[in-house]
């Protein structure tokens, strides 16, 4: 079984930086690729802030040592020697398939794995953009990556079983996460259950049935949820919630997956939740 030593991550946002962090904590040599100089700087700041916080809480011994294992760059070509590359860019099918086509040309080793952190897009659509569909699968982490232990493994119909098992060992033995197996269908396990729940809460708020505060408090205090569905939507990002809902609706055509009009309007207005300072709740 090929050991994973060199890890590439494409995208240095909340998910990508979190994936890079857990890999660096596990001693991996990590390269993060971003799209511009400003995005590179933002990703570095995000990593520094997260690791300094982890150090202050005793989660890592030396933040600077972990940071030293991560390079944040603009050049995709620097991923040529990676054992696995994990895509964590915008939840857009065309952008992801274009990226996988590029990675297939760049990554040298035919045994290297090309993985996607997509939360909803079928893996087969990404695999067929490459000449190595047997080495493509979904590796879906959850936000915040350093805290949440679940990873969904999503092989397509073409993924080699040995590749799935190699990645399972990497996720569980190296990164200390728990992996669950999912069929290659939009939404996988968690989002197929979670997104209709969130959309139902949005429709309840949209109809005036209850306030955002009461909906969230009701689920926290009445159902022992750690946070309410609207606060969770804000944490995920309303643009991501909308993108996942659209992917689910495209595949299954079931009304429970249809994005409510209010969600679309909020995304159009840039009210994306925590990352924009305002969603269903206000944030500093």
Q: Which residues are catalytic?
A: 119, 140, 152, 191
Identify whether 144 is preceded by a cis peptide bond (ω within 30 of 0).
Answer: yes
Q: What is the DSSP letter of 113?
A: E
Tokens encoding 93: 């099918």
- For the CA atoms of 71, 77, 80, 83, the dihedral, rounded to the nearest 10 degrees, stands at 50
- For the CA atoms of 165, 171, 173, 175, the dihedral, rounded to the nearest 10 degrees, stands at 170
Dihedral over Cα of 56, 58, 59, 61: its sign: positive
CA 70 and chain centroid, separation: 18
Q: How far is CA 265 from CA 82, 202, 244, 247, 268, in A?
A: 41, 12, 16, 18, 5
**DSSP bridge pairs for 30:** 7, 70
Tokens encoding 14: 């909340």
SS3 assignment, position 273: strand
The residue behind tokens 């069929």 is 183
Residue 251: closest CA among 191, 186, 190: 186
Residue 146: closest CA among 12, 277, 24: 24
Q: What is the spatial distance between Cα 241 and Cα 238, in angstroms, rounded to a whole number?
A: 5
Q: What is the DSSP letter of 259?
A: P
């Amino acid at each position: 079984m090929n050991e994973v030593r060199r890890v590439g991550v494409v995208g240095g946002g909340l998910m990508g930086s979190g994936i890079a962090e857990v890999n660096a904590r596990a001693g991996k040599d990590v390269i993060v690729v971003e799209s511009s100089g400003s995005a590179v700087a933002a990703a570095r700041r995000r990593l520094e802030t997260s690791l300094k916080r982890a150090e202050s809480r005793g989660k890592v011994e030396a933040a600077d040592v972990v940071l030293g294992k991560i390079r944040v760059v603009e050049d995709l070509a620097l991923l040529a020697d990676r054992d696995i590359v994990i895509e964590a860019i915008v939840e857009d099918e065309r952008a992801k398939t274009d990226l996988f086509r590029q990675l297939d040309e760049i990554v040298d080793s035919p045994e290297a794995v090309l993985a996607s952190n997509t939360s909803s897009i079928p893996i087969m659509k990404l695999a067929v953009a490459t000449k190595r569909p047997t080495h493509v699968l979904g590796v879906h982490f959850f936000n915040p990556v350093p805290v949440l232990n679940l990873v969904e493994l999503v092989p397509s119909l073409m993924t080699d079983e040995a590749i799935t098992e190699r990645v399972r060992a990497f996720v569980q033995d190296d990164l200390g996460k728990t992996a669950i197996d999912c069929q290659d269908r939009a939404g996988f396990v968690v989002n197929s259950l979670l997104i209709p729940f969130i959309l139902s809460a949005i429709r309840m708020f949209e109809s005036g049935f209850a306030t955002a505060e009461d909906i969230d408090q009701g689920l926290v205090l009445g159902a022992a949820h750690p946070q309410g569905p609207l606060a969770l939507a804000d944490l995920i990002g309303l643009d991501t919630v909308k993108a996942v809902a659209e992917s689910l609706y495209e595949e299954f055509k079931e009304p429970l997956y249809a994005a409510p009009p209010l969600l679309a309007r909020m995304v159009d207005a840039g009210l994306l939740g925590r990352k924009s300072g305002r969603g269903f709740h206000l944030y500093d």
